[in-house]
């Protein structure tokens, strides 16, 4: 299992997709990408559609600026009401339930908090912190938590902003990061 962490808009999803391709080719197994934010987004999708005429799953930069505070607020309020690990328990439950029925290599594309990273590491995961050069925290929560998660990550990697027509260069980064993780002897005993 690999968890990817970094600020919003740092390229976590892009790295996850590229790592999935590299791992599938290298190990000959399926890779499934998971997200802490997926259930959160699903929960407020109808609210955003009704009142903002926006999707919680938008990829549009300007729309994300509008909905991000709402997503963060909902996520934080759910943690206050049900415990800080509500999203972690839900995600791990989904991963292990899916693994009962099919084999795959899990990647979590949006690790944002140190307790999430620590728990994933206890499950045997490796954590990659990705940062995009010049990217700034979009809110106080990320400004506070990103350095904490970066500190406990297994790999820290920076990359530039890529133009859409040069995204194949992201695959080169993913391949290098995978080789670094794959060569870790302790991890190899668990997963490969």
Q: Which residues of the chain have pLDDT under 50?
A: 188-192
End-to-end alpha carbon distance in the chain: 11
pLDDT of residue 176: 87
Give the distance, in angstroms, between the CA of residue 177 and the centroid of all CA atoms in the same chain.
Answer: 15
Distance of alpha carbon 171 from alpha carbon 138, whole angstroms: 26
Q: Which residues are paired to 33 by β-bridges?
A: 107
Q: What is the pLDDT of residues 172-185, one digit of tens each?
A: 888 889 988 887 65
pLDDT, position 191 = 46
- The CATH classification of domain 2-39+104-183, taken from the options 3.40.1390.30, 3.40.50.300, 1.10.1380.10, 1.10.3720.10: 3.40.50.300
pLDDT of residue 188: 47
DSSP secondary structure code for residue 13 in this structure? H
CB atoms within 10 A of CB 176: 13
Give residue 11's region: left, alpha or beta (phi > 0; psi -120 to 50).
left
Per-residue model confidence (pLDDT) at position 187? 53
Give the pLDDT score at 164. Answer: 62
Kindly report, residue by residue over 91-124, the tens digit of the pLDDT. 999 999 998 888 899 999 999 999 999 999 999 8
Determine the pLDDT at residue 189: 45
DSSP characters for 32-67?
EEE-SHHHHHHHHHHHHHHHHS--TT---HHHHHHH
């Amino acid at each position: 299992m690999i968890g990817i962490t970094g600020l919003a808009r740092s390229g976590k999803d892009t790295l996850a997709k590229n790592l999935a391709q590299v791992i599938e080719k290298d190990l000959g197994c399926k890779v499934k990408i998971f997200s802490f934010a997926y259930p959160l987004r699903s929960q407020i999708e109808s609210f955003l559609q009704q009142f903002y005429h926006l999707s919680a799953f938008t990829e549009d930069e300007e729309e994300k600026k509008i909905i991000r505070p709402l997503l963060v607020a909902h996520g934080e309020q759910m943690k206050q009401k049900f415990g800080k690990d509500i999203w972690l328990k839900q995600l791990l439950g989904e991963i292990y339930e899916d693994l009962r029925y099919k084999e795959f290599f899990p990647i979590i594309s949006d690790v944002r908090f140190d307790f999430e990273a620590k728990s994933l590491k206890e499950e045997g995961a490796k954590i990659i912190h990705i940062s995009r050069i010049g990217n700034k925290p979009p809110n106080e929560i990320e400004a506070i938590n990103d350095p904490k998660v970066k500190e406990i990550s297994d790999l820290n990697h920076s990359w530039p902003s890529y133009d859409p027509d040069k995204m194949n260069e992201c695959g080169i980064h993913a391949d290098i990061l995978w080789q670094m993780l794959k060569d870790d002897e302790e991890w190899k005993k668990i997963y490969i």
